[in-house]
Amino acid sequence: MDIFEAIRSRRSIGLVSDEPVSKELIDQILEAGTWAPNHFRTEPWKFFVLTGNSRKRLGSTLAKIEEAQMDDPASETSQKKLSKILDKPFRAPLIIAVAVEPSDNPKAILLEEYGAVYAAIQNMLLAAHALGLGGFWRTGKPTYTPEMKQLFNLSDKGEILGFLYFGHLKRDVHEGKRRAVSEVTTWLTSEEDFDKL
Ligand SMILES: Cc1cc2nc3c(=O)[nH]c(=O)nc-3n(C[C@H](O)[C@H](O)[C@H](O)COP(=O)(O)O)c2cc1C
């Protein structure tokens, strides 16, 4: 698939089949992630491949985090909500949790360490799309909690930046929508143009 076509036609696909994703495809997605640009060659990403019942532990962690916020966890409404959360990781046969572990290199800039991992995530989403898979970048507040850090044994500085849900497509991919480039772009051709910003 042509890169421009891949960029444009990639969509967040929530509905995928239960059919397992082969290791060969997973390896290609991971490899694409590792080719992201990274300043000072810190390669600050970590990937955790969750399949099968490892997804159960992610669900129970998400539920535990939610439960701690609830006024009345024993209520019927709370219990329903918690049971839905437990099922969430089973929406796709494959989840790749992507973390940043910022480098100790004194030159490294934290923001850029995150940027490199975000670029890796986009590479992975595009690779999965080019391989014919559906993908979805999921986060939410529980992603950035100490409990999640602990689950993946990250350092104090480490963070999970996304859960990438992947699976085989069940139906055609919908069209995307974006604002026009002109709405978000300013062309600067002279020094004075900065004064008009
Ligand atoms: C950092 C980040 C986190 C996201 N987390 C979620 C999420 O938790 N739930 C969700 O429905 N979409 C999530 N998305 C996906 C966006 O909703 C999606 O990219 C957007 O709707 C545009 O659709 P498209 O990807 O099909 O172009 C996330 C996107 C980013 C960049």
Residues in the chain predicted with pLDDT less than 70, given as ranges, are: none
Q: How far is 40 from 105, CA to CA, in rounded Å?
A: 8
Closest residue by Cα to atom 6, ligand 1, is 138
What is the model's pLDDT at position 1? 86
**Closest Cα to residue 86, out of 108, 101, 64?**
64
Cβ < 6 A, ligand 1 pocket: 11-12, 137-140, 176
What is the number of other CB atoms lying within 10 angstroms of the CB of residue 64? 15
Distance 139 CA to ligand 1 centre (A): 8
Closest residue by Cα to atom 21, ligand 1, is 12
Q: How far is 127 from 125, CA to CA, in rounded Å?
A: 6
Among 139, 141, 144, 175, which residue has the most ligand 1 atoms within 8 Å of its CB, making it the best to mutate? Answer: 139
Prediction pTM value: 0.97
Q: Which two tokens stand for residue 46?
A: 């970590």
Q: Are 90 and 170 in contact (CB under 8 A)?
A: no
